[in-house]
């Protein structure tokens, strides 16, 4: 009987290990290019938190520091986000993950909140910067007029790492 309990215990440990291998632990940072004030962001498994991020005029960006840590399903192409905007109820948003395949060493999940409730998720091995290419694409897509000049901190694309 003890031998059977030991085997079942060993199997449960290996199953737990296999499950955790499917998750990547990473830090979260958020950039907001929209006029909406964002109160909190949580991933589908409830991780994330209060961020209190102000909205901005079109062409501008606000951002958070680094929030540690959350688990994301390794290789995910889409993320479910529960977003609470100021003065509104929580909204479920699907964010597309740009990187496919993911970098070999994912360390950061950067969420880019664009106008019209679109969110782009960027997975990178290092902390990412605001993305001018994303806001320009969104302005063109919806024929939106830029209200403030782009800041110098915006780069021209996602973080690219060697695979």
pLDDT digits (tens, 9 = 90+) for 70-102: 999 999 999 999 999 999 889 999 999 998 889
The C-alpha atoms of residue 150 and residue 116 are separated, in whole angstroms, by: 19
The pLDDT score that the predictor gives to residue 160 is 55
Single pTM value for the model:
0.81
| Residue 52 resides in a domain | yes
The predicted structure's pLDDT at residue 49: 84
Within a domain: residue 158? Answer: no
Structural domain count, the chain: 1
Token pair recorded at residue 138: 């969104």
SS3 label, residue 11: helix
Residue 120's region, left for phi above 0, alpha for psi from -120 to 50, else beta, is beta
Q: So what's the pLDDT on residue 17?
A: 34
Count the Cβ atoms, other than its own, within 10 Å of residue 102.
20
In a domain, 66, yes or no: yes
pLDDT at 81: 95
Q: Distance between CA atoms of 79 and 46, rounded to whole angstroms?
A: 12
Provide the pLDDT confidence category of residue 19 given band limits of 50, 70 and 90.
very low
Q: What is the pLDDT of residue 156?
A: 56
Q: Is residue 16 part of a domain?
A: no
Please choose, from the candidates 116, 106, 151, the residue with its C-alpha nearest in 3D space to the C-alpha of residue 130: 151
Residue 122: give the domain boundaries.
24-142
Residue 39 lies in a domain: yes
Residue 33 lies in a domain: yes
**In the prediction, which pLDDT does 12 show?**
34
Residue 155, pLDDT score: 63
In this structure, is residue 64 part of a structural domain?
A: yes
pLDDT at 161 over 80: no
Does 21 score more than 70 pLDDT?
no
Asked if the structure places residue 34 within a domain, the reply is yes
Round the average pLDDT of the chain to a whole number and report it: 82
> Residue 14: is it exposed, middle or buried by C-beta count within 10 angstroms (0-12/13-18/19+)?
exposed
**CB-based contacts of 36, cutoff 8 Å, min separation 6:** 55, 85, 86, 113
């Amino acid at each position: 009987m003890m031998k059977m309990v030991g085997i079942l215990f060993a199997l449960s440990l290996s199953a737990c290990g296999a499950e955790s291998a499917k998750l990547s632990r990473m830090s979260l940072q958020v950039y907001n290019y929209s006029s909406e004030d964002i109160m909190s962001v949580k991933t589908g498994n409830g991780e994330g938190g209060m961020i209190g991020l102000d909205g901005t005029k079109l062409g501008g960006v606000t951002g958070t520091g680094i929030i540690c840590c959350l688990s994301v399903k390794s290789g995910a192409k889409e993320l479910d986000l529960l977003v609470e905007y100021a003065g509104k109820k929580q909204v479920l948003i699907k964010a597309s993950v740009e990187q496919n395949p993911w970098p070999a060493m994912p360390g950061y999940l950067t969420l880019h909140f664009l106008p019209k409730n679109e969110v782009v998720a960027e997975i990178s091995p290092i902390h990412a910067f605001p993305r001018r290419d994303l806001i320009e694409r969104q302005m063109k897509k919806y024929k939106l007029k830029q209200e403030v000049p782009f800041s110098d901190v915006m780069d021209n694309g996602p973080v690219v790492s060697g695979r």
